[in-house]
Structure formats: C-alpha cells, structure tokens
Amino acid sequence: MFKNIPPLKITAFFCVFLLSTFLFIIPLKIIAQGFLPIDDALRHAAKVISGHNWNEILLLSDKFKMDSHPGWHNILGLVHNLTGCNQLGLVVFPVVVLFFISSFIPLLFLSLPEVWFFTLLVTPALSTSFIRRLLFGRPYIFTITVLYCLCFLWPKLKEDKLNLRVFCLFIALICACVWIHGAWYMFLLFPACLFLSGEYRAGLRLTYATLIGTLLGAVFTGHPFIFLQQNLTQAWLVFATTPAIQRAYELRPFKNEISTIIIMLGILFWGYQRKAWNFKRINNPVFLLSVTGWLISFFCKRLWWEWGIPALCVWLAQEFQFFYQKMLGRFSLAQVALSRLIITIVLVIVVYFNLTSNQRYRWIDPVTVKFKSYGQAQYLKLLPEPGGIIYSDTMNVFYQTFFRYPQASWRYLLGFEPSWMPLEDLKTYRGILQTSFSDSAYLPWVKKIRWEDRLIINRPKNEPPRIPGLVWEYIPEEIWVGKLPRRYK
C-alpha cells in the first residue's frame, strides 16, 4: 500500500507512529509501578467526585469566591459522567493524557520529530524535576502544551499579511488555558520577549491575541471580573505577603543548576566551531523566554519549570534538528531513511528505559507511602465527626484525606493554598511554621476545636505531640490525630 509513497514519507510516518506509541506507554508503565501524584491532581479529582463547591469543602477567606480552575473541573466532570470512573480514574486519566499531548505536540512541528526524544534525554540535565512534573496530571501541563505551540508558530505572526488562522488559533488556545488553568497574566511574558527580540509586529499581534483570549476565557467561567481579580489577589497574597520559606515548595526561589548554562553555552560554542553561528540563534523570543524563566526562577521556581524549560526544550530541539539535517545531508535518500529508522528505534528504547526506570524508587513518593495506612477502615473512626473540621499544619493531610474521602461531611482549614485560609487562622499557621512546629504554636487552634473536629499532624511515632488540651492517637506511618477528651463532649 506504500509503494507510491516516497521512502522518506514512509520513514517519517513510522517515526511519528513509534514515538507517539511510546509516549502513551511511558506514563502507563510509570503508574503501574505505583506512581501517583501527591498534590493538586488528587484534589481536582476529589472535588469532581464530591460535587461540592470549595466553600463547602474548605474554610475560606472572604477574598475567594469562586473556583480557580472551572474549566478543568468541567472537563474532569465530563469524563466522570461519561465513564463513571472513581477519583483514582480521574487522576490516572489526566496523568496519561496530559503527558501524552504535552510530549506529542512538538512532534507535529519538527521535520525530524525524533530529535524531540533526544531533547527529552537532555532535559534532566536542565532540571531533575521537569519530566516528573509532566506526570503530575495538573492543568499547568496543558499550558506548557500551548506554550510549545506558541514557540513553534510565532513566526507566522510576523508575516506582512496577518495569518488569520494562526491568530485565531492563538486566541482559542489562550482562551482554553485561562478557562482551564487560570494564571492569565503569565501569557504576557511571550509578547514581552517578542518585543525584546525586535519582533514588534509579531509581538503586537500576539498581545492582541492574548488579551482577547484572556477575556474570552474569563467570560466562559461565568464570572469574568471576579475570576480575573481573584487570580491577581492570590498571586499578590502568595508572593507579596508570604515569606519565601513558607510558600508551597514549587513557589519558592530556585537554586538554579549551573548545568543549564553549561549546556546552552556548549551548544552555542558547538555551532560557532562548525561555522553555523547566527546572532538570531539567541536573539529570538524562544531563547529569550528560556533565559527570562531562568532569571525569574530566583524568585519563583515554577517560572523555570513551566515557562523557561519548555521554551528551552523547543530551542534545543530546533538546534538539534539543524545539526541533524546537516549530518543527514551527506547521505543518499536510502541511507537517510535507514539512519532515521535506526536512530529513532535507539532513542525510543533509551528514553523508555530512562524515564520508566524505578531506580531508588523514584516513582514511589514518600508522601504516598506515609499515608498508605490512612485509608484503612480501622482508622476511619479517628477522623472528624459529621460537620467537623480538620486542622492541620501540612497540605498533604488535605490532599490525602480529601482524595480518599471526597464525599465526607467534614471540612478542612488548610487546603491547597494557605492564602485561601481565614486571616486569623493564616496567622496561626504562619506562627507554627515560624516556630518550627513547636507545640505551643498550635494553642490558638486548640482553643477553637470542638468535639467533632480533629487536629492532624505528621510526626514520628517516638515523638508524640505534647499539645495540651487534646488526646492523641497514632496512625502508621507518622500520622497523629488529636481530639478533645471525651469529658468535654
């Protein structure tokens, strides 16, 4: 059936088919080894199963009035309604699908798609966390996918005549990101890099697309002004009023690996040695976005993981493709086809075993192990009574408890972001962190606890809490549950 198709087209088809097949198999293999995300993927799935709004799940500050990820919860709700899957299925689904699409989309834009797998091999040297974060099943992975599209397609916006299809595509993609993920203000980074690189026409057009897409995405939430304001409020509370050491791990400053600079300089020097140097190789918005993400990561590491590294991966893939094409240009068509087949097969095998290897149990998170006894029936009686509140000093308690009991009738004081807590309780929480979890720092919460409430903290078995006014029971592994003595019932 392929006799009328040129050999190189057959080779390209086979390469894309093989690469995409393994991009689907890799997350399934990792999940089969016991991997499960430990944070937001759990609460997104549990929220859909619960059928409740956040004010029915958490004790909230009056600054937060609506869901921050309405689109994502609508999508998961649709999957749940169509398949009837439980909360575990609603975690596995986005882990597999988001990893696949985020890794597959670049294949469509590269004339030699196998270089993307070589980029995936190099990426751990840039950040040991990036590939792992692509398996967290969270909406930011969709934003990374859209960023790939922007990085590959932006040159279409600098043509004399506006490419209306690309312009509308960018509007649609940004609209979807805002509706699904929020953080709309981050999309201003790419137009800024276009202006910095001198691509004023493309920068202006992408700015228009960003503004239109943002407004449309906000409209689809049903409460556009509240949604846009709430996004800014959360960013302000996290970065302007919270000490860096008290932020969520991914929102803290990043100690950048020097390997990033070494790799970037090494590739540029390699091109210079091969007389392939061109100033546009660094004076382009994709490279500048990677540098911008790297610099801003000294303030917040997520900017590097979600904007800097994806942009750098696109830049690296284009660099690798440039040199790969030069190398293949020395061979005949038959030799090119055979070489590509061999290289693709080798890359697929190496990437597969490199990413799925469970060496040192890297796909078994300690948090998952710590809460393995938590869902057993004999410990359920230790959790809050109907209408109770869970007080805790760690978000892991919320993620793990809410995931296991999404339809429980209790609520949580600390959820997925401390800034969403009532102000008085936020002060107590910050005091606990500032005093390194000293027992006395919990007393403002103890004074508020009722019989139906619980205080749940992580401590080793041989270090029981000595917080006055509560009796404690232990759940393996390293979980202590405190409640009022029975005489105060």
pLDDT given for residue 272 in this prediction:
67
pLDDT at 2 over 70: no
Q: Determine the average pLDDT of the residues in 324-343.
A: 85
Task: Tell me how far apart the alpha carbons of residues 154 and 194 are, in angstroms, rounded to a whole number.
Answer: 9
pLDDT value, residue 1: 39
- 309-332 pLDDT per residue, tens: 999 999 999 988 988 888 887 887
Per-residue pLDDT band for 350 (boundaries 50, 70, 90) equals very high
Q: What is the pLDDT of residues 275-309, one digit of tens each?
A: 666 777 788 999 999 999 988 988 888 999 999 99
Mean pLDDT, to the nearest integer, of 464-482? Answer: 91
Residue 3 has pLDDT above 60, yes or no: no
C-alpha to C-alpha distance for 200 and 154, rounded to whole angstroms: 12
Please report the pLDDT score of residue 380 as a whole number. 85
Q: Where are the domains of the chain?
A: 7-361, 368-488
* CA quadruple 75, 81, 85, 86: dihedral sign: positive
Q: What is the 3-state secondary structure (H, E, C) of the chain?
A: CCCCCCHHHHHHHHHHHHHHHHHHHHHHHHHHCCCCCCCHHHHHHHHHHHCCCHHHCECCCCCCCCCCCHHHHHHHHHHHHHHCCCCCHHHHHHHHHHHHHHHHHHHHHCCCCCHHHHHHHHHHHHCCCHHHHCCCCCCHHHHHHHHHHHHHHHHHHHCCCCCHHHHHHHHHHHHHHHHHCCCHHHHHHHHHHHHHCCCHHHHHHHHHHHHHHHHHHHHHCCCHHHHHHHHHHHHHHHHHCCCHHHCCHHHCCCCCCHHHHHHHHHHHHHHHHCCCCCHHHCCCHHHHHHHHHHHHCCCCCHHHHHHHHHHHHHHHHHHHHHHHHHHHCCCCHHHHHHHHHHHHHHHHHHHHHHHHCCHHHCCCCHHHHHCCCCCCHHHHCCCCCCCCEEEECCHHHHHHHHHHCCCCCCEECCCCCHHHCCHHHHHHHHHHHHCCCCHHHHHHHHCCCCCCCEEEEECCCCCCCCCCCCEEEEECCCEEEEECCHHHC
The whole-number pLDDT of residue 331 equals 81
The span from the CA of 214 to the CA of 171, in Å, is 8
Q: Does 8 or 336 have the greater pLDDT score?
A: 336
pTM, 2 dp? 0.93
